[in-house]
Structure 1
Amino acid sequence: MDYSRRRKELLALVNQLRAVGAQSELDLPRITIIGNQSAGKSSVVEAISGINLPRDAGTCTRCPIECRLTSASGPWRCNIKIRKEYDSRGRRLDEIREVPFGSTILDKADVEPALRRAQFAVLNAQIDKETILTTSLDKLEELAATGKSLSFSRNVVCVDLEGPELTDLSFIDLPGIIQNAPDDKTISLVEELALFHTKGNCLILVAIPMTDDIENQKALRLARQVDPEGERTIGVMTKPDMIGPGSKKALDLWLEVIEGRRHPLLHGYYCTRQPDDEQRNKQISSAEARSLEGSFFRNTPPWATSLHTQRFGTANLTSALSRLLIDIINRSLPDIKKEAAKQLTSCRGDLSSLPELIEEEPVTYILNEVIAFCVEFDQFIKGGSGERAQLIQDHRRAYEVLKRKVRRTVPRFVPFTKDEDNFMADDPLDGEEEAEGNTSSEELGSLNLTDMRRHIKKSITRELPNNVPFEAKVALINDFQQTWRTASIDECFERVMVSTVGLLTDLVNRRFERHSLLRNDVHELMLKLVEKHYGRCLMFLEAALEAEETPFTQNTHYLQTTTDKWLSKYKSLRAERNQSTAVPKPSSDANPASSQAEPVSAKPSAAPQAQEPKPEAVNELLSLLAKCGYTGVTVEDLGKLKPADEYETELQVMAEVRGYFQVAYKRIIDNVPNFIDLRFLKALGKDMQRFLITELGLGTASANEKCAQYLVEDPLMVARRAELKARVKRLESVQRELNNLRL
């Protein structure tokens, strides 16, 4: 492929990328022309492009003008477009495109007024395009003077030029740098515009008037801010004809600059001479202007004697700019392609992380979401593995705490009188040790035999002798039951409720996260439903507790077994105490000192031996009784031959109440969790779907309107999705253009 064709393709590619807004995503190669006001910048632009720009005080360049030149064998023509990249508040638009402004121009004389209209359209976006195209320029100037027009804009006027005398080149002409203005805001805006367009992968062409000291060039100072090493900056010196032959010192200084001996730049400096006002008024052609320029540099010292002839004239400048731009594009394309692919992948990922746009009917969508929410909660109710086990595990922990707290209400009966030593050890429940924090009988209060006798006596009214009133036992039972609700059951139910509400809140937030209004309403409805079933379940728990106030059980075998067990234990403790405190007789051993009695133990003996009958003797006694006709006698029956304990009645009451505790304890620690699970948790799950559908009004005539309001998205989410979609579309377009070009 020849160089000329390759150059056209590369420039066409970059121009197309800019047309779709790729410059907002990628650092596209470009040439930007900057200069102070009245620095001759517009004359340089006119010389390169071959068209005239607006020059009146009120119509000079007030927005970026992108000139795209294409060498063509056909007749000269011009098309003007407007690329709107920013809204009225200066925010970058999501979708960028170029809109044609007017028809194709075939006469160069028509370009300047067309540019006036295009720039007016950019500065007055509130006026429609057709009005601007059909209104006279004088009338437009009057409208601009009303103060409603912007002073400057970031949006771009694009000028596509084709013709046989043009060089393949594109560049951006920026408004002139202002030295003085009525307000600093205008100065800052123009300077920010220059800094923005000259950063990155940009060749900076700075117009430098030779009528001013190079050190005073503000545009050159701005270029140094973004290109401190001078690797991207090209100086174009203007107005050489304004320096008289007598200003030899100034001429020598400028010659040293152009020949690279002062203020050097990597790409150096060029010098052009443009038509003066008289020649412009004569409307000389571009060819005539270039001929006069060539004659000036050939015949005017010190330029005529310089060996750097390639640095003089617009043609040399244009050729160099075209070559440098193509070189940059060639070098940058592989990186641009990689960066475009990287950003496209990133944008697609960001877009996929956002909720998709809802296309279903609002009622259908919300109904499906409500059903899915209820199904998800039901899965937690059923339990399972992983996250779904969380709720039931929380509830089981609450029930374990309930079990321990009810267990700690066990009545602490001491089978000794007030005056007898207290040898009562820890009181495990049916062989079960406390899981944590055993509570002593002193902390919970205890009842000894003296207390029990007094309690029974106070309860006697019309009973016959040796009859214990049933009310005496009921009172003792009610004593250990009275703290079950406040200290155990209410706390357990509260923990279950808090755990359930916490899960529901998480599920609501996850399911309805993107719709804040719907999320808030569903959350409030969930709290309302929880409160409803909490109250209903509480009634069942209260009924269960009320039923416990009247002692009853059909589990008579277990009651009798535990009663007998505790009666035996209490009697054993008393027997052990009597054995431990008994004083042994003096020994008949010849050495009395060696047979002194053991000291009295302060604790019950684990295996008392002083009175323990020998197994051989017991078996012999049972055999003798059998021979005498007393068959079926057991070792336990022999114990009945011992004299009755004077506190037999009190021990029996203690054993019965203690045995009944175990019956009631085991019943309540099962019934409470069962009621909570059935009448609260499962009832909540069963009622939820119907409740939400009813309360959200999904079956009413106004459901569609109400649901549509629910689905109004967060404006930030809408803006973010639109931005990402626009970026994906833009980058896909960029990628297509890049793929169409062979790198």
Structure 2
Amino acid sequence: MGMEHSILVRVITTIMPALVRKEIQDETDRITGKSKQISPIPIHLSIFSTNDIAQTPYYDFLILPVVNLTLIDLPGLTNVAVEGQPESVVKDIEKMVRTYIDKPNSIILAISPANQDIATSDAMKLSREVDPSGERTFGVLTKLDLMDKGTNALDVLEGRAYRLQHPWVGIVNRSQADINKNTGLSFARRREREYFATSPDYGHLASKMGSEYLAKLLSQHLESVIKAKIPGIILLINKGIDEMESELDHLGRPVAVDAGAQLYTILELCRAFDRIYKEHLDGGRPGGDRIYGVFDNQLPAALRKLPFDMHLSLQNVKKIVSEADGYQPHLIAPEQGYRRLIDGSLKYFRGPAEASVDEVNRVLKALVMESIRETEAMVSG
């Protein structure tokens, strides 16, 4: 595994596998060093096909990306740490592998060497744990050409030793010597076909063996999975469309973009609000009756509770009038006394009057909010 840097490979001619391999190795060395360390951070390698070239009026050609497919090359499971690796590398690799193959949409390519007992295969053991039904697991048997003479892997390839839902596929890879000599993949694939075609053990399975058949098998499986997922995807898309349309209905018609149309929309909203608000106050819509009730019921009831019988009692009137004139008796009418009586009475009115104003203000605010909601509903409808 390497750094989380995207390696973008744009090619005009055939991609050279050696160049791609070198770039991956260099990127791995940049993050882990040239030791045998591992990193869970993936290398993102984008490959563009030269077969899909679109002509444009601005460019001679445009390289288009191939179909999106995530192929994850995980490190091989190990049982011991080699020189330069931490002791935790065994668990670290298994944990990394599990994070990918646990996903229900992943296809597991469980690779095991043919020259070892399949019962000891760590890949098959781990895939059986995460995919007990075997629906996502493809068994791949390598190193068929390195088995001891007189032995073969037919029990595995024909599903007798270890049965899977999908057929086992045997392949013959390049040897380390071939890799060191940069033997081309085309030559390696041709030699692989020849091996199965001429093999006395696997000749009858030649049409269902090899890397090319494995690629075809995986492509067919991917296509079938996509077809099976399409109804659910369509259902999910339609659900999203319905939700968006419902949200658009709630938000109302599209907002105008030019200044004139925006001004017209604002004026139209104002006129609609003004009409609805007046109907609440003047009649036709509920609301005005609550204001009338404040002045017809609430305020009179509060006024009737005021202590005017004490304030305007004969004894209190005489007291206020006499105190107002002081040592100078009034000539005609006790004007100062009357004024004090009136001022005192008005102070009693202040509490009920303010309470009535607050109540009317509350009712008007509620009517404003109700009018806004009704205006939005009318315009969006």
Q: TM-score, normalised by structure 1?
A: 0.35
- Aligned match of 1:491: 355
One-letter amino acid matched to 2:42: F
Aligned CA distance change for structure 1 residues 292 and 269 (closer, same or farther; 3 Å): closer
Partners of 1:384 and 1:352 lie apart in 2 by 29
Match of 1:157 in 2: 47
Q: CA deviation at 1:234?
A: 1.3
CA–CA distance in structure 2, aligned partners of residues 141 and 387 of structure 1: 80
Matching residue's letter, 1:452: L
Matches of 1:62 and 1:223 in 2, distance apart? Answer: 33
Task: Determine which of 185, 194, 198 is the counterpart of 2:100.
Answer: 194
Out of 264, 267, 283, the position equivalent to 2:163 is: 264
Aligned match for 1:174, one of 55, 72, 86 = 72
User: How far apart are the structure 1 equivalents of 2:290 and 2:362?
Assistant: 10
Q: Secondary structure at the match of 1:173?
A: coil
Structure-2 separation of matches of 1:312 and 1:481: 107
Do the aligned residues in 2 keep the contact of 1:271 with 1:313 (CA within 8 Å)? Answer: yes
Gaps in structure 1 of 5+ consecutive residues:
1-36, 38-57, 65-81, 83-100, 121-139, 163-168, 413-444, 512-743
Q: Does the C-alpha gap of structure 1 residues 478 and 114 become closer, same or farther in structure 2, counting only changes over 3 Å?
A: same
Contact 2:11–2:49 (Cα < 8 Å) also in 1: no
Instruction: Kindly state the Cα deviation for residue 173 of structure 1 after the two structures are TM-superposed.
Output: 2.4
> 1:266 Cα deviation (Å)?
0.8
In the TM superposition, what are the counterparts of 1:457-472 in structure 2 within 5 Å? 459=321
Question: Does residue 1 of structure 2 align to residue 104 of structure 1?
Answer: no
Q: Tell me, what secondary structure is at the counterpart of 1:175? A: coil
Residue matched to 1:405? 302
Q: Matched residue of 1:492: which SS?
A: helix
Q: Structure 1 residues 377, 210: CA separation in 2 closer, same or farther (over 3 Å shift)?
A: farther
| Aligned partner (choices 207, 210, 213) of residue 313 of structure 1 | 210
Counterpart in 2 of 1:283? 183
Who is 1:441 aligned against? none
Alignment-derived partner of residue 359 in structure 1: 257
Alpha carbons of structure 1 residues 63 and 319: separation in structure 2 relative to 1, 3 Å: same
Once the two structures are TM-superposed, the CA of residue 273 in structure 1 deviates from its matched residue by 1.0
Counterpart position of 1:234: 138
Q: Distance in 1 between matches of 2:315 and 2:248?
A: 82
Quick one: structure 1 residues 371 and 266, their matched pair in 2 at CA, closer, same or farther if it must change by over 3 Å?
A: same
Shift of 1:406: 1.5
Q: 1:507 offset after TM fit, Å?
A: 8.5
Is 1:373–1:508's contact at 8 Å kept on the other side of the alignment? no
Q: What is the CA deviation profile of residues 361-410 of structure 1, one whole-angstrom value per residue up to 9, with x for unaligned ones?
A: 5x9958975994697367535625999744x4554454332222123237
CA distance in 2, matches of 1:499, 1:232: 66
Task: Kindly indicate whether the alpha-carbon contact (under 8 Å) linking 1:210 and 1:239 is maintained by their aligned counterparts in 2.
Answer: yes
Cα deviation 1:5-36 (Å, max 9, x = unaligned): xxxxxxxxxxxxxxxxxxxxxxxxxxxxxxxx
* CA distances 1:660-698 after superposition (whole Å, capped 9, x unpaired): xxxxxxxxxxxxxxxxxxxxxxxxxxxxxxxxxxxxxxx
Of the three residues 310, 314, 317, the one matched with 1:452 is: 314
Residue by residue, what CA displacement relative to the aligned partner does 1:50-99 show, whole Å, maximum 9, x if unpaired?
xxxxxxxx79x9979xxxxxxxxxxxxxxxxx6xxxxxxxxxxxxxxxxx
Provide the C-alpha distance between the structure 2 equivalents of 1:242 and 1:294, rounded to a whole number of angstroms: 16
CA contact (8 A) 1:377 1:504 kept: no
C-alpha deviation, 1:195, in angstroms: 4.1
- Counterpart residue type for residue 493 of structure 1: V
Q: 1:660-699 counterparts in 2 under 5 A?
A: none
SS of 1:237's partner is strand
Q: Percent identity?
A: 17
> What does 1:551-562 correspond to in 2, within 5 Å?
none
Written as runs of structure 1 = structure 2, the 5 A alignment for 1:567-716 is none
Which letter maps to 2:157?
I
CA change 1:242–1:314 in 2 (3 A) is same
Assess if the C-alpha contact under 8 Å between 2:114 and 2:141 holds in 1.
yes
8 A contact 1:206–1:220 mirrored in 2: no
1:205 paired residue number: 109
Counterpart position of 1:482: 347
CA contact (8 A) 1:297 1:312 kept: no
Once the two structures are TM-superposed, the CA of residue 255 in structure 1 deviates from its matched residue by 4.5
User: Contact 1:258/1:311 (CA < 8 Å) preserved in 2?
Assistant: no
Q: For residue 295 of structure 1, what is the amino acid of its counterpart?
A: Y
The 5 Å alignment of 1:277-356 reads 277-280=176-179, 281=181, 283=183, 286=186, 289-295=189-195, 298-299=198-199, 303-304=201-202, 311-329=208-226, 331-333=228-230, 336-350=233-247
- How far apart are residue 484 of structure 1 and its match? 0.3
CA distance in 2, matches of 1:403, 1:324: 85
- How many angstroms apart in 2 are the aligned matches of 1:240 and 1:178? 18
For structure 2, which runs of at least 5 residues remain unmatched after alignment?
A: 33-39, 53-66, 376-381
For residues 159 and 338 of structure 2, what CA distance do their matches in structure 1 show? 117
Across the two proteins, how many residue pairs are aligned to each other? 338
